[in-house]
Amino acid sequence: MSLSFPTLSIPSWDSSTSRHISQCSSSLHVSAGSFQWVTKNSGAGAGLCRGFCGLKVWMIERFNLWQKKREFGPLKEFMTVKNQNLPDDSVEETKRLSKSEESLLHEHQADPFTNVVPSRSHSLNHETEGGRGPSLCIAVIGATGELARAKIFPALFALYYSGFLPEDVVIFGYSRKDLTDEDLRSLIASTLTCRIDHQQNCGDKMEAFLRKTYYLNGGYDNCVGMSKLNARMEQIEGGSKANRIFYLSVPQEALLDVASCLADNAQTHKGWNRIIVEKPFGFDALSSQQFTKSLLSKFEEKQLYRIDHLLGRNLIENLTVLRFSNLVFEPLWSRTYIRNIQIILSEDLHSQTRRYFEGYGIIRDIVHSHILQTIALLAMEPPISLDGEDIRNEKVKVLRSIRRLDPSDVILGQYKATSGDKVDVNLNNLTPTFFAAALYIDNARWDGVPFLIKTGLGLIKHRVEIRINFHNVPGNLYRKHLGHNIDLATNELILSDAPDEAILVKINNKIPGLGLQLDASELNLLYKDKYNAGVPDSYEHLLLDVIDGDNHLFMRSDELAAAWNILTPILQEIDKNHTTPELYEVGGRGPIGPYYLYAKHGVRWIDD
């Protein structure tokens, strides 16, 4: 009886290392690069001896190599959590290694079983744990402006403090002012605050964040400035793979030149590039089309993130969750059960902290983006997945189905301001600061349901809410107990963001006691009572979405075009001086026109 052993191959970790085992027969050859268990013209005992000796040596080699690798540390990579399937560029990275690193890698190559590779090191002024360059670079273009100081840098710090930015992130501030790194850090330090629900190691985190922040004076030639920014980024990245985000917080008139120079001179070839563009996205349909064409000549659509901070509110983020994860709502979400939908966004004097867009007005600034995007999310069909492109596909279908605005269904207003009011007093007489309208969606789900809009500045109360009114109960048995106005007793779903974030459901209920008396009551989910957590700023939501590659709250080019198509008729009427805004007092309730408009469409307006 004889024993034979089949050939056993083990993956290679060093093809140059091999040795003979003298304890067993010389016919046995053990290679660390390809361990083979072979018997050659020998009996069972000799073969068994050689086999186990070879296995023992192979295991010792692997253990010694593992100990050496521990000196270098594992490669720490930043991995995003949403839909990031980035290609493996380890081969290209190996080609960029210096000769000394190549020899080191040749000696201690990555273990194919553990996928551990030695970390790279460089002698630059920014090093991360393990000695390699950052995995994410964020450049704020227009870093000394009010938006950057008040919103962007605080949002970035909040994400860093909460653990949503990679620890090795690097942030660049870019503008035309002659500042140093320390000047920028001092400029933004006073605007940084720690989460009210955390407050742990706040000072240390703030100091660490500021150390990761650098400044570059780009000068007045944007292309030269972007080349300098790219050189600085490459110096700090040190040849490592790194992704880049560019936030273009610049005036509209400078945006295209900055974007063009960025595209040609500052994009990385070792990762993805994402560009954040602030609203307004054009002045009208034609200018928006030209603006989009210019951007798409330099970037791919998937790189562009057109940001509207109002879409980062939790109310908007929660719309799809409320609709598609609750059986109690989804079957009712159509003209069969819903009578009308009201969308309200009013700002008081305290919430108006910036000068208003001269000539742009509330239609181009708020209605075109925020209001129409809210309607699209409310009214869209269920997407096939939560992927951003799938959601955008459904949104654009809604926008293309919205009927073009009839000027008779629109009310415009403008506040009467004095120098003592905290608003822009230099508006021309055609710039609207108040907008009310009735929109209709011409599709099977929403045919005949009015979507009623009211948005304005300088009003009595800061209010952001969506009110979904349901039809009356057919043949209601309790009609005589509901009082004279049965419309007041209809069911209603109220999604509120301001003054308090809440979800309310209005129902009819029996008042406890003898007899039968009905009352319209509210089931109230008040967020501040239910959830013991601070509400993140909308910029935090949206910046995290950009990092994660989630673009469902950012307008795509076809969404832009569809939105302009809806608003073009009323904008043309304004430009032709055919429509004059109705004046209203700052701090008041706005024009009286909306009350008549909504009565025209059979809707009782719910006042403040």
Note the pLDDT tens digit of each residue in 134-158: 789 999 999 999 999 999 999 999 9
pLDDT at 215: 96
Instruction: Catalogue the active-site residues.
Output: 370
Residues 224 and 322 in one domain: no
pLDDT at 61: 57
CATH number at residue 191: 3.40.50.720
Specify if 321 maps to a domain: yes
pLDDT exceeds cutoff 50 at 418: yes
pLDDT at 115: 36
Indicate the residue among 278, 296, 321 that finishes a domain: 278
Please tell me which of 223-232, 473-482, 483-492, 525-534 the model is most confident about, judged by mean pLDDT.
223-232
Residue 402 DSSP label: B
**Cβ atoms of residues 324 and 382 within 8 Å:** yes
Average pLDDT rounded to a whole number, residues 428-435: 84
- Percentage of residues in the chain with pLDDT exceeding 70? 72
Give the structural domain span for 274. 136-278
CA 587 – CA 417 distance, rounded (Å): 10
Residues 207 and 328 in one domain: no
pLDDT at 479: 76
Specify if 400 maps to a domain: yes
More confident residue, 209 or 357: 209
pLDDT exceeds cutoff 80 at 603: yes
pLDDT at 580: 84
Residues 229 and 316 in one domain: no
pLDDT band per the 50, 70, 90 thresholds, residue 421: low
Residues 252 and 329 in one domain: no
CA 574 – CA 581 distance, rounded (Å): 9
Mean pLDDT of the chain: 80
CATH number at residue 540: 3.30.360.10
CA 68 – CA 76 distance, rounded (Å): 18
Please tell me which of 19-23, 44-48, 195-199, 256-260 the model is most confident about, judged by mean pLDDT.
256-260
User: Rounded to 5 degrees, what are φ and ψ at 258?
Assistant: -65, -45
More confident residue, 24 or 604: 604
Residues 339 and 259 in one domain: no
Average pLDDT rounded to a whole number, residues 115-131: 39
More confident residue, 120 or 295: 295
pLDDT at 498: 86
Residues 522 and 415 in one domain: yes
pLDDT exceeds cutoff 80 at 188: yes
Count of structural domains within the chain:
2
pLDDT exceeds cutoff 50 at 42: no
pLDDT band per the 50, 70, 90 thresholds, residue 46: very low
Note the pLDDT tens digit of each residue in 554-581: 999 999 999 999 999 999 988 887 788 9
pLDDT at 27: 42
Give pTM, 2 decimals. 0.76
Q: At what angle do helices 538-548 and 153-161 cross, to 10 degrees?
A: 70
Residue 370 makes CB contacts below 8 A (sequence gap 6+) with 308, 310, 311, 345
Nearest to 451 by CA among 462, 436, 461: 436
Residues 323 and 449 in one domain: yes
pLDDT at 157: 95
pLDDT at 12: 41
Specify if 29 maps to a domain: no
Indicate the residue among 278, 301, 320 that finishes a domain: 278
- Percentage of residues in the chain with pLDDT exceeding 90? 54
More confident residue, 119 or 465: 465
Average pLDDT rounded to a whole number, residues 324-334: 94
Q: At what angle do helices 285-296 and 557-575 cross, to 10 degrees?
A: 150
Residues 584 and 501 in one domain: yes
Note the pLDDT tens digit of each residue in 63-122: 555 444 444 333 333 333 334 444 444 334 434 434 344 443 343 443 333 333 333 333
Residues 447 and 337 in one domain: yes
Indicate the residue among 229, 258, 278 that finishes a domain: 278
Q: SS3 for 106-167, per residue?
A: HHCCCECCCCECCCCCCCCCCCCCCCCCCCEEEEEECCCCHHHHHHHHHHHHHHHHCCCCCC
Residues 219 and 320 in one domain: no
Specify if 228 maps to a domain: yes
pLDDT band per the 50, 70, 90 thresholds, residue 241: confident
